[in-house]
Amino acid sequence: MDAQPTSHTRIALIGNYLPRRCGIATFTHDLHRALSMSKPDIEAYVVAMTDQGRAYDYPPAVRFQIQDQVVDEYVRAAEFLNQARFDAVSLQHEFGIFGGEAGGHIIELLSRLHMPVVTTFHTVLSAPTLVQRDVMRGIIDASAKVVVMAEKGRELLRSVYGMSSDRIEVIPHGIPDVAFLDTHFAKAKLGFSGKPVILTFGLLSPNKGIEVMIDAMPSILESCSDAVYVVLGATHPNLVQQQGEAYREGLVTRARDLGVDGHVVFVDQFVDQPTLLEYISMSDVYVTPYLNEAQMTSGTLAYSFGSGKAVVSTPYWHAQELLAEGRGILVPFSDAKAIGAAVAGLLTNDVRRHAMRKRAYATSRLMTWAQTAKRYRMVLDEARTIGPPARSTRIEQETLWRAGYPVPEISLRYFLSMCDSTGLLQHAVHSVPDRSHGYCVDDNARALIFASRLGSLGESHLSERVIARFAAFIQHAWNPDSGRFRNFMSYDRRWLEDIGSEDSHGRTLWALGECARSDTAASRRQWAAALFRTALPAVETFQSPRAWAFALLGLDAYCAANAADQAVTTCRETLAARLMSSLASVETADWVWFENLLAYDNARLPEALLLTGLATKTPAYVDAGLRTLRWLMTQQTAPTGHFRPVGTESFGIPWQSPKRFDQQPVEAAATISACLTAWRANSTGEWEVGAMRAFSWFLGDNDLACPLVDLAIGSCSDGLHPDRPSENKGAESVLSYLLGLTEIRRFMRADAAPDRTEQASSRLALSA
């Protein structure tokens, strides 16, 4: 049933809020006050965004605050709003005030709300990046209605973001309702009596174009020798944090070098509204010399225009609309000569200046905050009749998966085409096996894991001849002289190294553990167990966390089917303790991970701790596994909700937020395994959803909406590039898809009920 407006309305505004110093904070404050005063039956409260490392003495109107980089606080804010039963939410959106890539954290809040959302877009980009477009689309999908402050915003929402016009409202920026006053009184109070005053106000930053106006002062002074240019406003806090007052000092130096320093006054203050209105009242000409056309909204322009000021501005989008038809003067960007001529012309022509003032004041009467609040109330009431947006197709699809919707059948045609009498070839050119790159133990180990799991999951298993080749390759890779596995072999069966990487050794141990537990042949299980015990000691000298994790995965499988001696038990304890130690040494509130970087196969690290914790009944391991996996999932989820694995462009860069490309199938497979393991320990819906989203990535629910697999033959592209899936289909990719598919099929089958019993037993054992 649609929500209906009631006689009492509770509204929550989300955005920056005073005393935080920025335009959004001022706007949210003014809109909150206007709504609260507009009707006695409205209760309006605020959820304030707090920037990292800052604290503000918020007034009582702020009922909840969010530290912008802490994703859990967005979730808790949604819980607060739902529990408090607000009727509607007014979101103030601007890039830069929300955490996550392109501010994507806000979608974690919006996607959980039970009431309709009206979003005000203070900026609408005409050429967004892919991730900015994703975030905007996510917010649009979560909003019953959206508000922009200029017709250009409506146009861009339709043409760039595909939004329908019936959900877009244009409501101009609100302004104080002030009288049309002469400048003399305010000039006398502020110490500028008898001087022509040019004003610019707002937080100082390089995009405001103040330097262009300073460059125009010499020509203005030729016509009006006693003119003064007042620059009112503190330097933007973010700029101060980055470079101190270097920008302001540079402006002062520029004025001095031009010989106009006596005519340029910097008022370094963030002033309250009454003081601001006095400065506006004393100005003869207001100037906004912004440098960028893509300025959808300017509160400073709206306030000055609404006070009845003659305005000279560059033609950014808001100014083009507001100052059209002679309501102000537009000049080219970065053109000091044109600005100077326009300002001087107004200062020396009282008749023209006063006519422009009267036209601006008369036009702006529909922009007062009282009128703005009335229009916002209408939009909020309409949103309540619409109700919250319907759940997305993606969520509906996930519901179908959970209900047992059929998953693809397993096709081995392509996988078998990559195998020969030696084993599994590494690479392919398109879909043709590439012999020039030969073989590696990594892929043959993955193949043995796949073969072992097929036999134990009720699927049609591989032929004995094919499985024997993978096992033989691993046996041949063992180098007893070094106690390590070799990795790379040429097509003519020559080993290209005596010792492979630590990760390849760990992965081979994992394959042997799986084989020892699940292979269909008893003699091969015995072989795998014996080689596992022989090769295990080397891992204790390794430094790679992934090698530790792969070995722990192998230990979990091995110990499930074989009595663990003291050496095996000690090794398991040592490796788990190392992962815990790595986590403790690196983890921060914002970086919940084992290393100060992200690389490949990331989800295998939390999976290893989860499996070890479940098997050894160690709650600390399980807690750490869930915590790190949950953080990793926030890094691997696009703002619109689909799976986005860590791109190879960000591999190995310390403290680097994940880059989007290239995306690798191995990440999706690892995430499926880790999420389903997490489900065994903690059967909340997030883990089911996480696994299904990772699997859906293969099928086309990804950044490019392109499937990576050919379901008929079982091939898989090597990755997702910025513009297309890779044309090549190598062994690692096809096995990543097949391993993920087997796990999803096992989870979705009706006969998976015993696993759910096992999961419940695991949780009971941990809590005992």
For position 61, which CATH number holds? Answer: 3.40.50.11930
Domain co-membership, 83 together with 189: no
- Short-list 124, 121, 45, CA closest to 89: 45
Average pLDDT, the chain: 90
CATH number for the domain harbouring residue 518 = 1.50.10.10
**pLDDT surpassing 70 at residue 487:** yes
Same domain (yes/no): 408, 473: no
User: Distances in Å between the alpha carbon of 476 and those of 570, 657, 745?
Assistant: 28, 40, 33
| 406 burial type by CB count under 10 A (0-12 exposed, 13-18 middle, 19+ buried) | exposed
Residue 7 pLDDT greater than 70, yes or no: no
The answer to whether residue 577 sits within a structural domain is no
Structure confidence at residue 667 as a pLDDT band (50, 70, 90): very high
In this structure, the answer to whether residues 441 and 407 fall within a common structural domain is no
Residue 428 within a domain: no
Structure tokens at 5: 């407006």
pLDDT tens digits along 141-183: 899 999 999 999 999 999 888 888 889 999 999 999 999 989 9
Same domain, 608 and 550: no
More confident residue, 141 or 379: 379
How many Å separate Cα 146 from the centre of its chain? 21
Quote helix, strand, coil % in the chain, to nearest 5: 50, 15, 35
Q: What pLDDT score was predicted for residue 133?
A: 83
Per-residue confidence (pLDDT) for residue 286, from 0 to 100: 96
Query: What pLDDT is attached to residue 162?
Result: 84
Query: What pLDDT, on the 0 to 100 scale, is given for residue 456?
Result: 60
The least confident of 6-10, 598-602, 641-645 is 6-10
pTM here? Answer: 0.56
pLDDT digits (tens, 9 = 90+) for 561-589: 998 889 999 999 999 999 999 999 999 99
pLDDT band at 5 (very low <50, low <70, confident <90, very high): very low
Residue 665 counted as domain residue: yes
Please give the backbone phi and psi of residue 255, each rounded to the nearest 5 degrees, phi first: -65, -40
On whether both 213 and 158 belong to a single domain, the answer is no
Number of folded domains that form the chain: 4
Question: What average pLDDT does this structure show over 225-241?
Answer: 91
Choose one of 107, 136, 170: the last residue of a domain: 170
561 and 678 inside one domain: no
What is the mean pLDDT of the segment spanning 322-331? 93
Helices 23-38/369-386 angle, 10° precision: 80
- In this predicted structure, the answer to whether residue 398 has a pLDDT above a threshold of 50 is no
Contacts for 426 with CB less than 8 Å, ≥ 6 apart = 434, 437, 438, 439, 440, 443, 730, 731, 732
pLDDT band for 757, please (50, 70, 90 cuts): very low
pLDDT, one tens digit per residue, over 238-282 is: 888 888 999 999 999 999 999 999 999 999 988 888 899 999 999
DSSP letter at 165?
G
Of 565, 595, 610, the position where a domain reaches its end is 565
Give residue 26's region: left, alpha or beta (phi > 0; psi -120 to 50).
alpha
Q: Are residues 332 and 459 in the same domain?
A: no
Structural domain includes residue 570: no
- 557 and 601 co-located in one domain: no
Q: Which of 565, 595, 613 lies at the terminal end of a domain, its last residue? A: 565
pLDDT at 614 exceeding the cut of 70: yes
**Do both 471 and 494 map to the same domain?**
yes
Residues 697 and 729 in one domain: yes
Question: CA–CA separation, 429 vs 432, rounded Å?
Answer: 5
Residue-wise pLDDT tens digits, 18-50: 999 888 999 999 999 999 999 888 999 999 999
In a domain, 765, yes or no: yes
Instruction: Tell whether 53 and 89 lie within a shared domain.
Output: yes
Tell me, yes or no, whether 755 and 617 share the same domain: yes
Angstrom distance (rounded) from CA 713 to CA 702: 21
Contacts of 371 (CB under 8 A, 6+ apart): 174, 365
* 574 domain-assigned: no
378 part of a folded domain = no
Query: What's the CATH number where 254 sits?
Result: 3.40.50.2000
Q: Is residue 578 part of a domain?
A: no
Residues 6 or more apart from 410 whose CB is under 8 A from it?
Answer: 454, 459, 460, 714, 738, 741, 742, 745
| Owning domain of residue 469 | 436-565
